[in-house]
A and B are shown apart, each in its own frame.
Chain A
Amino acid sequence: MICGRSDGYARAADDKKWMLNNEYGDGMRTMGQLFDRAASVRDKLGLASCAISAALIAPSLWAADMPGGPKVNQLDLPKGVTKIAADQHWMNWFLMAVCLVIFIAVFAVMFYSVWAHRKSKGHKPADFHESTAVEIAWTVVPFLIVVGIGIPATKMVVEQKDTSGADLTVKITGYQWKWGYDYVKGEGEGIGFLSTLSTPESQITGKDPKGLTYLMEVDNPLVVPVGKKVRVVLTANDVIHSWTVPAFGVKQDAIPGFVRDTWFKAEKEGVYRGACVELCGKNHAFMPVVVEVKSAEEYSKWVDARKKEMAAKADDPNKEWQLAELQSRGEKVYGANCAACHQAGGTGAGQFPALIKAASVVGPSADQIKILLNGKGAGMPAWKQLSDVEIAAVITYTRNAWGNKADEGLVQPKAIAEARK
């Protein structure tokens, strides 16, 4: 092995966690073998070609297939773990076959003609230029083919759209640039959390090597039970997003101000990965979807743990907070929600204003509360989905950070509750 590729493979193989989770299809595993063979051929070609292939091909040789995500140089739709995804997989191959037959038929005729009916071979042009029978035939036959495609497609549409009889309903909210999950009906009702990209920036900028699940990993994945029909209802907070998990064969836009729904029933435990697929602004590429499918027992355990965690975290609404407490809480809230636009140093960027010495931040706190609850202009969304404590904390934080010294430096959660009324 040359080109220094072997250590990367070893690292991926050592990572037992990924190997355990790798239950997602196996049709494309041969690709890995194929690349092994390609690599050994390259080895024989020597060092000169190594430089070129290192530039072009080597990066993927460090990586292995992503569990629940794309495989290295995947050529096909995923087989998936739902009936819908399996149907789509079948439908794609069915259509490929139909198209291939048409393609070969048409171009066999054309290229035969190109080969046989050329002037250089002395072929004399014929004189025909219409034939009603032929023209009717090649109008009717494609029509029949289209009908033949339409029938199975219709069945699939009806199936995909049937969201009735769900065991669990989860509301998904798209935010710039993260997903919110709220369990609204079924086991786990009441659980809610945000899910953001967990890939460190150092990997994106290339300071650190990129991991196996680069850009398709989150802090809090959506967790659902295996074999249960999960209905997802989607909306968005700011612009249109779109939630997809290819292994489930599901894709649905999340539209601000409207609610749309779709469903899936995962038939295999594991981790499955997707993305936001509707352009939603600068970090569109950085709000992945991760869904963990657990067995019924594991799921119940997760629900219990999550509920206990939430109870412990719940804030006492009447508590009087200390400045330092709110500041440290606010710093986290700021980092998770505000820094993407206003920047970690409060300096702002482009159309997003700086918060250092900004009138709304150092002036009367009532104004700032209003902006956070209702949004401002086109750029600043409303943040009313945050809790009173979180809003109070982030306001308090901005009023004391980066050299800001506001008169009303400490804003209590009660003030937010007041303002909401």
Chain B
Amino acid sequence: MSAVLDNHGHDSHDHAHDHPHGLRRWLFATNHKDIGTLYLWFSFVMLLSGGILALTLRAELFQPGIQIVQPEFFNQLTTMHGLIMVFGAVMPAFVGFANWQIPLMIGASDMAFARMNNFSFWLLPPAALLLVGSFFVPGGATAAGWTLYAPLSVQMGPGMDLAIFAVHIMGASSIMGSINIITTILNMRAPGMTLMKMPMFVWTWLITAYLLIAVMPVLAGAITMLLTDRHFGTSFFNAAGGGDPVMYQHIFWFFGHPEVYIMILPAFGIVSEIIPAFSRKRLFGYSSMVYATASIAILSFIVWAHHMFTTGMPVTGQLFFMYATMLIAVPTGVKIFNWVATMWKGAMTFETPMLFAIGFIFVFTMGGLTGIILSVAPLDIQLHDTYYVVAHFHYVLVAGSLFALFAGTYYWLPKWTGHYYDEGLGKFHFWASLITFNVTFFPMHFLGLAGMPRRYIDYPTQFTDFNALATVGAFGFGLSQLIFLYVVLKCIRGGEKAPDKVWEGAEGLEWTVPSPAPFHTFEQPPTFK
């Protein structure tokens, strides 16, 4: 993959466009780079907010007994931690990467719908305010768990309604973002870039965007039914009125399982960019990577009820969902093998993005393997709703999605800011995160096997040591992220000048534009061979 950029007359175009400064630049932003920056900062703020909630509940769980928070508030913390991390931190962060990188990687001048792009972002802060503000209404925030299972969610106070509206708004934002991404990718690629020549990150986002459009309306439907059950006398989920509480779970997880892949497929894409760059070798099995991603996406629609093995499904239901879930291991395995084969016989160097990418493969695989164990329905009966599940999904969501987000940030940060970041601090951030992450979440496997249920404010004394250890790890992990903040701020303020092609082995159109990437790029489509 190589590319030649036609850079003639590049600068002379800039002044032809309105280029507002100060608040107007961000409020009325239509430039994909500015909007990408907004998304990334927004998600980082949400990451810290969700992290503070997590640390509060971990502090409570440091010792058995009730010391710091009351049970009602504890349930609010677990619920809001989940909602904020999923809808506020991880999803918007990937959209931020899409905004910054997709036009740069396919040689487009901007996203297809610039003003809708602005609206997609600016829907998020009000939604975040609704979520955070719900802590301060009578009864506090919703405490029904991030899955908002009926009928518990029907019992909640007005905080629940705020959460429903917030999720509605964030869903609308996601759908608009997805439409924008799909249109951009399908219509605005540089001449010569066929679909099967697109960078893997662009492929994974194309598939993710379709997933989002397919399932966000399903979530909206589920929570709208909750809303009408709560206020308008309907009985969708109330057995006394002819409804079914389990139907909520079916609808929710029909959204919820593809959602899991929405949060991991773009991570796969980022890692698939970084591993070849620092191995100085082309991605192994490009087409099988594309097919594997598509297979994972398709399978994700037929596995939802593996979240519900204990609701009391018939034998055939359990078997079907068990088999379908196990099958996902195959394409996921293909991806892992391809990454390892890409590294094989390369000429590797280990800058921070590469460290995070290898860390991703290593720790994500552990989460994948516990996923296989959980997919076995008769065993899931023991592990369902225990800390084993908590460990599993933090291995794939934190060590998976979040590590990939860090990897991508370090990888493209010199392109965004024009400076290299502090490599020593970056590596420190990686090792601190990797170690504290495992100290936090590895003991949770044991807690789960021993039977400690999730979402418990208090536990028998026999569980004390592992809980104390997890809490110590969690505070370490939280503090490690301040290193990341410092590295990014330092990089924005200055540092070693980065050339156009920031990394020796990196390939792709984004490395043909100057660093930092100018406000407008690719006003003339580049030639792609």
| A contacts, CB < 8 Å to B | 56-57, 59-60, 62-63, 65-66, 69-78, 84-85, 87-88, 91-92, 95-96, 99, 102-103, 106-107, 109-110, 113-114, 117-120, 123-131, 134-135, 138-139, 142-143, 146, 149-150, 153-154, 156-161, 203-206, 210, 212-216, 234, 238-240, 242, 244, 246, 249-253, 255-258, 260-262, 274-286, 350-351, 378-379
CB-based contact B151/A99 at 8 Å: no
One digit per residue, 1 when the CB lies within 8 angstroms of any chain A CB and 0 when it does not, for chain B 334-371 equals 10111011111111111000000010011001100110
B468's partner among A57, A139, A276 (CB-CB below 8 A) is A57
Provide the residues of chain B in CB contact with A286, threshold 8 Å: 71, 458
For residue B384, give the distance in angstroms from its CB to the closest CB of chain A. 6
A-B contact pairs, 26 of them (CB 8 A): A63-B462, A69-B460, A70-B451, A75-B449, A87-B378, A103-B369, A107-B365, A109-B344, A114-B358, A119-B349, A123-B347, A124-B347, A125-B346, A130-B285, A135-B338, A161-B318, A214-B64, A215-B459, A240-B149, A242-B385, A255-B239, A260-B311, A282-B70, A285-B455, A285-B457, A286-B458
A135's partner among B66, B288, B370 (CB-CB below 8 A) is B288
The verdict on B2 contacting chain A, using a C-beta distance below 8 Å, is no
Provide the residues of chain B in CB contact with A210, threshold 8 Å: 64-65, 461
CB-based contact A72/B462 at 8 Å: yes
Interface residues of B in 367-386 (CB under 8 A from A): 369-370, 372-373, 376-379, 381-382, 384-386
CB-based contact A110/B340 at 8 Å: yes
Chain B residue with the shortest CB-CB distance to A143: B330
Can you name 8 extra interface pairs (CB under 8 A) apart from A153-B376, A205-B66, A246-B382?
Answer: A113-B346, A114-B343, A130-B287, A138-B333, A153-B378, A154-B322, A255-B311, A281-B75
In whole angstroms, what is the CA distance A285 to B64 when docked?
Answer: 12
In whole angstroms, what is the CA distance A345 to B360 when docked?
Answer: 54
CB-based contact A92/B461 at 8 Å: no
- Known pairs A150-B322, A157-B377, A279-B145; A77 contacts B382 (CB<8 A): yes
The verdict on B323 contacting chain A, using a C-beta distance below 8 Å, is yes
In whole angstroms, what is the CA distance A274 to B310 when docked?
Answer: 15
Chain A residue with the shortest CB-CB distance to B376: A153
| B contacts, CB < 8 Å to A | 63-67, 70-72, 75, 138-140, 143-145, 149, 151-152, 154-157, 230, 238-240, 244-246, 279-288, 310-312, 314-315, 318-319, 322-323, 326-327, 329-330, 333-334, 336-338, 340-350, 358, 361-362, 365-366, 369-370, 372-373, 376-379, 381-382, 384-386, 446, 449-466, 468-469, 472
CB-based contact A66/B462 at 8 Å: yes
Chain B residue with the shortest CB-CB distance to A145: B329
In whole angstroms, what is the CA distance A388 to B459 when docked?
Answer: 37
- Known pairs A92-B379, A149-B376; A251 contacts B310 (CB<8 A): yes
- Known pairs A88-B382, A126-B281, A138-B334; A70 contacts B457 (CB<8 A): no
For residue B144, give the distance in angstroms from its CB to the closest CB of chain A. 7
For residue B242, give the distance in angstroms from its CB to the closest CB of chain A. 9
For residue B324, give the distance in angstroms from its CB to the closest CB of chain A. 11
Provide the residues of chain A in CB contact with B330, threshold 8 Å: 139, 142-143, 146
CB-based contact B465/A215 at 8 Å: no
Chain A residue with the shortest CB-CB distance to B340: A110
In whole angstroms, what is the CA distance A158 to B143 when docked?
Answer: 36
- Known pairs A257-B245, A274-B451; A378 contacts B154 (CB<8 A): yes
In whole angstroms, what is the CA distance A254 to B358 when docked?
Answer: 43
Provide the residues of chain A in CB contact with B72, threshold 8 Å: 282, 350
CB-based contact A257/B240 at 8 Å: yes
CB-based contact A69/B462 at 8 Å: yes
- Known pairs A69-B460, A73-B465; A252 contacts B149 (CB<8 A): no
Provide the residues of chain B in CB contact with A282, threshold 8 Å: 70-72, 75, 143
Most buried by A among B384, B454, B465: B465
For residue A16, give the distance in angstroms from its CB to the closest CB of chain B. 20
- Known pairs A71-B450, A215-B458, A279-B144; A378 contacts B155 (CB<8 A): yes
For residue B383, give the distance in angstroms from its CB to the closest CB of chain A. 8
Provide the residues of chain B in CB contact with A275, threshold 8 Å: 451, 453, 456
Most buried by A among B75, B450, B461: B461
Provide the residues of chain B in CB contact with A107, threshold 8 Å: 362, 365
- Known pairs A275-B453, A378-B155; A110 contacts B343 (CB<8 A): yes
In whole angstroms, what is the CA distance A146 to B376 when docked?
Answer: 10
A95's partner among B337, B341, B373 (CB-CB below 8 A) is B373
CB-based contact B378/A281 at 8 Å: no
Give me the 7 closest cross-chain CB pairs, A-B, nearest first: A257-B239, A260-B312, A156-B378, A74-B450, A126-B345, A277-B385, A285-B456
Provide the residues of chain A in CB contact with B345, threshold 8 Å: 113, 117, 123, 125-126, 128
In whole angstroms, what is the CA distance A286 to B457 when docked?
Answer: 9
CB-based contact B315/A103 at 8 Å: no
CB-based contact B144/A129 at 8 Å: no
Provide the residues of chain B in CB contact with A130, threshold 8 Å: 284-288
CB-based contact A261/B381 at 8 Å: no
Chain B residue with the shortest CB-CB distance to A254: B312
In whole angstroms, what is the CA distance A57 to B239 when docked?
Answer: 47
In whole angstroms, what is the CA distance A123 to B280 when docked?
Answer: 11
For residue A170, give the distance in angstroms from its CB to the closest CB of chain B. 16
In whole angstroms, what is the CA distance A159 to B65 when docked?
Answer: 39
For residue B498, give the distance in angstroms from its CB to the closest CB of chain A. 20
In whole angstroms, what is the CA distance A118 to B351 when docked?
Answer: 12
Provide the residues of chain A in CB contact with B369, threshold 8 Å: 99, 102-103
Provide the residues of chain A in CB contact with B366, threshold 8 Å: 103
For residue A109, give the distance in angstroms from its CB to the closest CB of chain B. 6
A158's partner among B66, B310, B315 (CB-CB below 8 A) is B315
CB-based contact A118/B462 at 8 Å: no
In whole angstroms, what is the CA distance A73 to B372 when docked?
Answer: 24
Provide the residues of chain B in CB contact with A274, threshold 8 Å: 451
In whole angstroms, what is the CA distance A204 to B282 when docked?
Answer: 59
In whole angstroms, what is the CA distance A118 to B243 when docked?
Answer: 61
For residue A4, give the distance in angstroms from its CB to the closest CB of chain B. 16
CB-based contact A350/B139 at 8 Å: yes
CB-based contact A285/B451 at 8 Å: no
Provide the residues of chain B in CB contact with A255, threshold 8 Å: 239, 245-246, 311-312
- Known pairs A124-B347, A279-B455, A286-B458; A240 contacts B372 (CB<8 A): no
In whole angstroms, what is the CA distance A362 to B306 when docked?
Answer: 50
Chain B residue with the shortest CB-CB distance to A382: B240
CB-based contact A70/B452 at 8 Å: yes
In whole angstroms, what is the CA distance A129 to B346 when docked?
Answer: 11
Chain A residue with the shortest CB-CB distance to B382: A88
Provide the residues of chain A in CB contact with B381, threshold 8 Å: 88, 160, 249-251
CB-based contact A74/B333 at 8 Å: no
In whole angstroms, what is the CA distance A285 to B453 when docked?
Answer: 8
A285's partner among B337, B458, B465 (CB-CB below 8 A) is B458
A256's partner among B151, B327, B346 (CB-CB below 8 A) is B151
- Known pairs A63-B461, A239-B152, A240-B245; A378 contacts B230 (CB<8 A): yes
- Known pairs A95-B379, A284-B75; A277 contacts B362 (CB<8 A): no
CB-based contact A281/B344 at 8 Å: no
Chain A residue with the shortest CB-CB distance to B279: A125
Provide the residues of chain B in CB contact with A160, threshold 8 Å: 378, 381
Chain A residue with the shortest CB-CB distance to B468: A56
Chain B residue with the shortest CB-CB distance to A146: B326
B245's partner among A77, A131, A158, A256 (CB-CB below 8 A) is A256
For residue A27, give the distance in angstroms from its CB to the closest CB of chain B. 12
For residue B407, give the distance in angstroms from its CB to the closest CB of chain A. 16
In whole angstroms, what is the CA distance A261 to B311 when docked?
Answer: 10
For residue B226, give the distance in angstroms from its CB to the closest CB of chain A. 11
For residue A265, give the distance in angstroms from its CB to the closest CB of chain B. 16
CB-based contact A118/B65 at 8 Å: no
Provide the residues of chain B in CB contact with A124, threshold 8 Å: 347
CB-based contact B65/A204 at 8 Å: yes
- Known pairs A113-B344, A142-B330; A70 contacts B462 (CB<8 A): yes
CB-based contact B310/A65 at 8 Å: no
For residue A308, give the distance in angstroms from its CB to the closest CB of chain B. 34
- Known pairs A119-B349, A246-B451; A253 contacts B462 (CB<8 A): no
